[in-house]
Structure 1
Amino acid sequence: MTYPPVTVVVATFNRADYLARLLDSLGKLDPAPAAVVVVDNASTDSTTEVLEAARVALPVPLTVHRLPVNAGGSGGFSAGVERALADGAEWVWLMDDDVEVLPDALAAFAPWQHKYRCLHGRRLDHNDEPFFWQHRFNAFLGVHFPVPGDVFVNSPVFRTNVACFEGVLLHSDVVRAVGLPDPRFFINGDDTTYGWLISQREPVVYLDEFVLRKARPQKQIDLGVRHLNDSSNLGRYCGMRNRGHLARYLMVHGRYNRFGFGIGTALTAAKELLRLVAVERTLSGVGSLWNGWRQSRFLLHDPDWQPMPALDRGTERTA
């Protein structure tokens, strides 16, 4: 079987040990990827040494793109995808630095790549248990909701309208049409919005194939219909602030409803408060939520805000 060429794009920041495990797993992929691009978000740990060792150990070309400052996951993926496309990538597989790939992942994707151009595989958590990831985005509220039950009971493909940068596989033409991931998000909500933007053009799917394992343990509680993980004050701030960016994208597509979006913002804040109390057992992050909401109000009315533009097929390398 002929496998489509896939370039792996990794965004990393100060997780050298996890990055080393990921790069080791990438070297065991069969079939192998066409190339690997790692965006180093100005790490200050031993990431540079890990990447130098990987240049020798990996059986495929490794490009290291080091940013002068930490641009967050959003900025890292934006820069990494841009670099991969400039180098001629046909498919890009995005992932964080704290996962490991399963050896037959690309073989699992291959039968579906002729039909879909935005795909996700299933994930295992660090205990090798299935990780819950099945959501759909509600544009009226501006919130994605978990879909309960076995979504693969009748089909090996689940149609969704959100993405996850921890494992989404994208055809380069999709990126050219939608534009690069928006680096202004920094973290939190960037992939959900990007998947929704793609879904306005073509199918976004979740496959009944395990392709990744989460290497980093996280505090979490099981709510029955989904898991609620721990977060950080930066994540909380960005999550609330980025609702301003999300609202602007909804406006661009004529899908923004002020009343519904306000309810969605209240639901988002309530979820974060539940996360603080039930998972992290603290209220110290309330101020971050408030500050993020205030910033979202500015973005909502910023006259200079513009969506990320589509890319020309002839885009030249910028790094």
Structure 2
Amino acid sequence: MKVAAVIVTYNRKMLLLETLRGVASQSRPVDRIFLIDNASTDGTAESLEAEGWMEYPKLSYMRMSRNLGGAGGFERGMRLAHQAGYDWIWTMDDDVEPDNNTLEIMLSYQDISQCINATKIFTENGEVQYWEQFYDFATGRLVDLKNVSFYSGREWCPVNVACFEGMLISRELVDVIGFPDPSYFIYHDDTAYGVKASFHTCVIYVRHAVFRKKIYGYGDPNPFRSYYMIRNSFRLKRDSFNAAPVGHSTKFSNFLFFLNLLKYSIHAFRQQPGLKMIEALVKGWSDGIRGR
């Protein structure tokens, strides 16, 4: 059984080095690391060279000619790992670092699931990120259960979404559901991927497989993030219903979906009022409704 890690990076060279050290020191070693550099401009390649990573025998480094976003980066890296014949693909961003037994713990659940997700703990304050979530088809939003299963003593729990900050997925499942959709660019690409996976396996969230997350929270909405949040919410709703074996969208569910996005839009504008935010929100709604 061969495991490949896929790391996507963009302008976080110091955090990336910590991610690489965490992956390279696993108690169950990875067999290959595919590092996708989304055209970083901060000297990432030079930093890797200076630290000796370019000579690391397990590292395959690929620099993109332009920034493909997280979605495009993971699509490229997962495709490379799949084409190379690896049995499991372990995805992660450049601001997370796995504990040295994380992969070993995750692989211990391979008889239960073909899509296994890890717990994130913020290094800034030791807070555990709530991630026991379900995508609600009626409202098109994520329902957060606040890790209630873990507080009840469970070691793992089912979910119907995935997170590329530590997702471990089997080759067989990739054969069925394909690769991430690069047109998402950022936001909801992994959510959509997890929804697709949930129709073919029990997607799970594991308590003691831990990643240390270096950037706390996601910051206040800005025009760039808000555009993709709105646009991709429409994409996620379409993709989820298209992937479902049975399901259809009702007028009431559409009303709830629009209401939820309207609430987000109002919140985003209150956080950062101005013409740029208005333009981003209007474009997000327009592109989302038209499927652009």
2:173 & 2:278 partners in 1: Cα distance?
38
Confirm or deny: 8 A CA contact 1:74 1:183 kept in the other structure: yes
The answer for unaligned runs of 5 or more in structure 1 is 220-228, 303-319
Confirm or deny: 8 A CA contact 2:27 2:104 kept in the other structure: yes
1:28 & 1:231 partners in 2: Cα distance?
36
- Partner residue in 2 for 1:66: 63
2:110 & 2:141 partners in 1: Cα distance?
28
2:36 & 2:168 partners in 1: Cα distance?
17
2:209 & 2:128 partners in 1: Cα distance?
9
- Partner residue in 2 for 1:209: 208
Residues 151 and 244 of structure 1: is their aligned pair in 2 closer, same or farther, counting only changes over 3 Å? same
- Partner residue in 1 for 2:234: 244
Q: CA deviation at 1:154?
A: 4.8
**Which residue identity is paired with 1:233?**
P
SS in 2 for 1:151: helix
Confirm or deny: 8 A CA contact 2:131 2:147 kept in the other structure: no
1:30 & 1:16 partners in 2: Cα distance?
24
Question: Which of the residues 108, 113, 117 maps onto 1:116?
Answer: 113
**Which residue identity is paired with 2:35?**
V
1:164-185 Cα offsets, whole Å, 9 max, x none, are: 1111110011111101000010
Name the TM-score, length of structure 2 as normaliser: 0.89
- Partner residue in 2 for 1:161: 160
Q: CA deviation at 1:109?
A: 1.1
Residues 198 and 49 of structure 1: is their aligned pair in 2 closer, same or farther, counting only changes over 3 Å? same
**Which residue identity is paired with 1:196?**
V
- Partner residue in 2 for 1:102: 99
1:4-24 Cα offsets, whole Å, 9 max, x none, are: 532110111111111112112
- Partner residue in 2 for 1:145: 143
**Which residue identity is paired with 2:178?**
G
Residues 99 and 275 of structure 1: is their aligned pair in 2 closer, same or farther, counting only changes over 3 Å? farther
2:200 matches 1:235: no
Q: CA RMSD in A?
A: 2.1
- Partner residue in 2 for 1:306: none
SS in 1 for 2:212: strand
1:120-154 Cα offsets, whole Å, 9 max, x none, are: 11110122221111110111222111014521215
Question: Which of the residues 263, 272, 275 maps onto 1:282?
Answer: 272
Aligned residues: 284
2:266 & 2:197 partners in 1: Cα distance?
30
- Partner residue in 1 for 2:77: 80
Question: Which of the residues 119, 128, 131 maps onto 1:130?
Answer: 128
1:11-39 Cα offsets, whole Å, 9 max, x none, are: 11111111112112222221221111111
Residues 32 and 271 of structure 1: is their aligned pair in 2 closer, same or farther, counting only changes over 3 Å? same
165-174 vs 249-258, which deviates more?
A: 249-258
Q: CA deviation at 1:190?
A: 0.8
Confirm or deny: 8 A CA contact 2:192 2:240 kept in the other structure: no
Question: Which of the residues 255, 260, 266 maps onto 2:259?
Answer: 266
- Partner residue in 2 for 1:223: none
Structure number with higher helix proportion: 2
